[in-house]
Amino acid sequence: APAVKNFTLNFTITNLQFNEDLQNPNSRRFKSTEKVMYHYIDPLLQKSSIGPHFTGCKVTGFRSGRSRDDTKVDAVCSYKNNASLASFDREKLYQELSSMTNNVTKLGHYSLDRSSLHVDG
């Protein structure tokens, strides 16, 4: 069976005000924001080069950004590593996500910090 591999995905939303509730995984605000993240992130990864192997993401947390309106999003995403996936190319995935988010500026109705996208294999 193919091994499941993880990579981290981090980005900053510049129009989502951070508050204490976002630090609590049991709060309604955390849960609803987490759902919205899946709604936006999963389809992008399904359309990417790892799409056929993509198995999902888990939001690991929200953190306060540089200003009151910035919220940093941390997620761990998984894919099945098998022979038909040449190798996980984080540079290529970064480029794909960058172009799918309008040069790292838009994720659905959210605005992104252009320098905040990180894909770490």
Q: What is the pLDDT of residues 50-109, one digit of tens each?
A: 999 999 999 999 999 988 889 999 999 999 987 666 678 999 999 999 999 999 999 999
pLDDT at res. 95: 97
Report residue 24's pLDDT band, with 50, 70 and 90 as the boundaries.
Answer: very high
pLDDT at res. 74: 97
- 69 alpha carbon, distance to own chain's centre: 18
Whether residue 113 contacts residue 63, with contact meaning beta carbons closer than 8 Å, is answered with no
User: What are the backbone angles phi and psi of residue 74, rounded to the nearest 5°?
Assistant: -115, 130
pLDDT (average), residues 1-5: 81
Nearest to 70 by CA among 112, 102, 32, 41: 112
CATH superfamily entry for domain 3-120: SEA domain (3.30.70.960)
Under DSSP, the state recorded for 113 is -
- The least confident of 3-7, 40-44, 97-101, 103-107 is 3-7
When computed from its CA atoms, the radius of gyration of the chain, rounded to whole angstroms, is 14
The pairing of beta strand 3-13 with beta strand 71-81: antiparallel
Spatial separation of the C-alpha atoms in residues 119 and 5, rounded to whole Å: 13
